[in-house]
Chain A
């Protein structure tokens, strides 16, 4: 799926996941918690949307995954950004800023 076609909501989730992984690799729950933290609790990503998104983004080549041990010695699947993932993060960030600016302007002028 080309980035242009991603709709707003899906785009939002993708951008949040990409940003969450920007600092380093995380497992599913970690990503969820990180997004919670980043958005100060505004977005609580449920596994029902998180995992489909992760698998889709992995298939798109934005993420790679590997199994590792968690801080409390649980086996977990960790995700990290690939090169294309980083590029995608930049594209989506830019897109989002454009939209956000446009929306902000739109709301202010009305």
Chain B
């Protein structure tokens, strides 16, 4: 250790001493020879020759010394750094390429990390699960809502699990606390929901089982956010009464600040599961915790045994041969939909990295051949192959580190941008951050990149022939172009796959966004309010509210018609079961979408009436029950025959179909095939709802919309609508205002996001490929300047010379496209499940992709060849 310090610190002194020692050795040896009678000059020469030169001995001693390795490493790093800073153009190209590709990977990986890799922030997250359903024939394998009956069986007959329920999704409700009415999301949870998760209220307590019984005491647990924003973090709120859904609730607890999915509500109220009403259908979400000593296999077996009869019944209902249930981890349950999409994006990001590697390999190869003079000189002066190789690797590594750091910065920016694109609560995680794992990943990715792109030049160097290189001052430059061209073909092929993939997604989005709306979205503004409110459970109060509020809105200047409907086009619609009551279809039970509407609903949206009539003020509670159906309903259930005048039965009531209207696309619910589709839909008059329980139930699930059609401007309309509503009921806030295009955008948020993300990746790939082709052709131009000069001097035209040089770029890009088409055949098939209205092998989008790639290729080869036009043959010839 001491000698290490001596060698490193007192380097100069040690070196001088070594010189002296060797010097004295030569002199002593010469003295010996002189004593033996050799003339002094000759003696000295022989002594030196015997030694074999001072420098190799000196180097041999140096290599032996402690700390030599460290010292030469330091030298190499310093030297490498000088090389890097001396070539800002090259360095910038490498660092920018790395920053873009590592940045894309960092951003996507941080989402993969947050979504798929990190454990849920609950105690023993691996023992948390949910139950999914697998249907025999249809291949359905996914989330399953459970009914009240299933819940009783699960709780009593599955001892392996500790289970709890929640409403599926949040309900929007009105809250009145501290003086003002406010719209909040209410997650309803069963008594032990928090216990199953292992979450304890930060202050106060959890729900008791008594509170979770029908008609139990009304109590509410607040989220930290609401406690902070509405109640100013006042601890005295515990035990106080606030008004929710028009009823008094006692605040019993506040959840901790860092609560995350599935705890995303503003407030929590008891679910009160039962076998009737909501519990009559499969409307509850379930979470389970494996009890100590039990296994998931036992749990699965117990579930299937407990639910055997129920499964048989459901199988009959949906015409499946067999239905089985099994547990999956809660994490997996939460990411069932997003997981595959995120993985696909990660794959796309990986392709970007490969493309970047190909480019960087090309760039560094050019660098090495440019440095042939320097490298061969070093080797001629005695540097070993290993030392020169190591030098190159160190430079690669330095570049990788620089690029990696830039990439992490770029990734951070990209991630912020990406997250701001996402709808609120789109990802079921509390936050996405660049944590240690993400940084480690990015670091590893840049190292891997440096190995991949450094390998090629290093291999080139291995076959370096000193003598010919010294003579020609290039390292095997031209023959190695073959490899670079192959790389170009490879990256063009990968780019093609990404472009074709995003092309298909764009076509899908265009298809969905340009579906014939079936109504006129111009001049329409809508607003939602929660009627999950004790004051409006009474049908007559509900009727009165609708009448008075629409009348108030129709008094707004410019408004032609105002109406209310349970749901709107583009939205998810209530599913119902009705029985066809007459003709040859009599007794047939059918599932249909159902929505209530006030008179004016079809007129406000301008949904065309095809036959019969729409609702009028006369379709009241005491008149004959009527319904209006859409075209799909008529076609599907009556084979296209006139539906008007036919009757249907719902419960004990029989309704006459009085009209048929056009179809409008809705978010699919009944039979999901595409995110937007037309389904059989039945409209019934809001005024003919007589069942208070049913009214309460649909309003826990859906917030109705007030629709206003105006001939005036939409600006300012929202304020007027709010004032009109307040004149009827000041305690009923609108939860939001939506133009029809907002609803469309919300339904297609996932598709838009997919297009944005994959499109950005494809654009990045295209940019990198263009840079690669550009660099290749520019390199050929500079390598062949002389030859081109001769050609032009001998009478070739500039144009022909340009063509000769550009040819490899065009040729290999074309080969890449052909290869890309082959790859597309395999790769695009995986996208089938996310494509709508467009086939996997879509000629227009493939043609567009080829056209784009061809145009970019032409651009990338033309710019560098333009230099030839300015080539002066007499000058280039004189250069060498």
User: Hey, which bits of chain A sit against chain B, CB under 8 A?
Assistant: 27-29, 46-49, 51-53, 55-56, 58-59, 70, 72, 74-77
Who on chain B is nearest to A61 by CB? B3
Q: B28 to A74, Cβ gap below 8 A?
A: yes
Q: A48 to B57, Cβ gap below 8 A?
A: yes
* Neighbour of B66 across the interface among A47, A59, A77, CB < 8 A: A59
Chain A neighbourhood of B3, CB < 8 A: 58-59
* Cα distance A46–B24 in the bound complex, in angstroms: 15
Chain B neighbourhood of A53, CB < 8 A: 64
- Mask, B43-69, CB within 8 Å of A = 1, is 000000011100011001101111000
Enumerate 19 A-B pairs (CB-CB under 8 Å) in ascending A order. A29-B28, A29-B29, A29-B32, A46-B50, A47-B25, A47-B51, A48-B52, A48-B56, A51-B61, A52-B57, A55-B18, A55-B61, A56-B65, A59-B3, A59-B65, A70-B24, A72-B31, A75-B20, A76-B28
The 7 closest A-B pairs by CB, nearest first: A52-B64, A59-B3, A29-B28, A76-B24, A77-B21, A52-B60, A47-B51
Distance between B11 CB and nearest chain A CB, rounded to angstroms: 14
Q: B65 to A55, Cβ gap below 8 A?
A: yes
Q: B63 to A52, Cβ gap below 8 A?
A: yes
Q: B25 to A29, Cβ gap below 8 A?
A: yes
* Cα distance A20–B708 in the bound complex, in angstroms: 110
* Neighbour of B64 across the interface among A28, A29, A55, A70, CB < 8 A: A55
Given A28-B25, A55-B64, A77-B20, A48-B51 contact (CB < 8 Å): yes
Name, among A27, A47, A59, the residue most crowded by chain B CB atoms within 10 Å (CB to CB): A47
Q: B52 to A46, Cβ gap below 8 A?
A: yes
Given A48-B51, A59-B66, A77-B57 contact (CB < 8 Å): no
- B603: interface (CB < 8 Å): no
A47-B57, A48-B52, A51-B61 known; 20 new pairs, CB 8 Å cut-off, are A28-B21, A29-B29, A29-B32, A46-B51, A46-B52, A48-B57, A52-B60, A52-B64, A55-B61, A55-B64, A59-B3, A59-B66, A70-B28, A72-B31, A74-B27, A75-B24, A76-B21, A76-B25, A77-B20, A77-B21
Chain B neighbourhood of A56, CB < 8 A: 64-65
- B22: interface (CB < 8 Å): yes
Main secondary structure of the interface of A (DSSP, over half): helix
- B514: interface (CB < 8 Å): no
* Cα distance A56–B66 in the bound complex, in angstroms: 8
Chain B neighbourhood of A52, CB < 8 A: 57, 60-61, 63-64
* Cα distance A28–B27 in the bound complex, in angstroms: 12
- B276: interface (CB < 8 Å): no
Distance between B384 CB and nearest chain A CB, rounded to angstroms: 16
Chain B neighbourhood of A29, CB < 8 A: 25, 28-29, 32
Chain B neighbourhood of A27, CB < 8 A: 24-25, 28
* Cα distance A48–B61 in the bound complex, in angstroms: 8
- B17: interface (CB < 8 Å): yes
Who on chain B is nearest to A58 by CB? B3
* Cα distance A56–B65 in the bound complex, in angstroms: 7
* Cα distance A77–B27 in the bound complex, in angstroms: 12
Distance between B71 CB and nearest chain A CB, rounded to angstroms: 14
* Cα distance A74–B63 in the bound complex, in angstroms: 28
Chain A neighbourhood of B20, CB < 8 A: 75, 77
Q: B24 to A48, Cβ gap below 8 A?
A: no
Name, among B32, B61, B65, the residue most crowded by chain A CB atoms within 10 Å (CB to CB): B61
Chain A neighbourhood of B29, CB < 8 A: 29
Who on chain A is nearest to B31 by CB? A72
Distance between B62 CB and nearest chain A CB, rounded to angstroms: 9
* Cα distance A77–B18 in the bound complex, in angstroms: 10
* Cα distance A46–B520 in the bound complex, in angstroms: 99
* Cα distance A47–B22 in the bound complex, in angstroms: 9
Distance between B167 CB and nearest chain A CB, rounded to angstroms: 72
* Cα distance A75–B23 in the bound complex, in angstroms: 10
* Cα distance A55–B52 in the bound complex, in angstroms: 18
Chain B neighbourhood of A28, CB < 8 A: 21, 24-25, 28
Chain B residues 617-643 with CB under 8 Å of chain A are none
Who on chain B is nearest to A28 by CB? B25
Distance between B63 CB and nearest chain A CB, rounded to angstroms: 7
Q: B24 to A74, Cβ gap below 8 A?
A: yes
Distance between A6 CB and nearest chain B CB, rounded to angstroms: 14
Chain A neighbourhood of B65, CB < 8 A: 55-56, 59
Given A28-B25, A46-B51, A47-B22, A74-B60 contact (CB < 8 Å): no
Chain B neighbourhood of A55, CB < 8 A: 18, 61, 64-65
Chain B residues 116-170 with CB under 8 Å of chain A are none
- Mask, B216-260, CB within 8 Å of A = 1, is 000000000000000000000000000000000000000000000
Name, among A51, A58, A75, A76, the residue most crowded by chain B CB atoms within 10 Å (CB to CB): A51
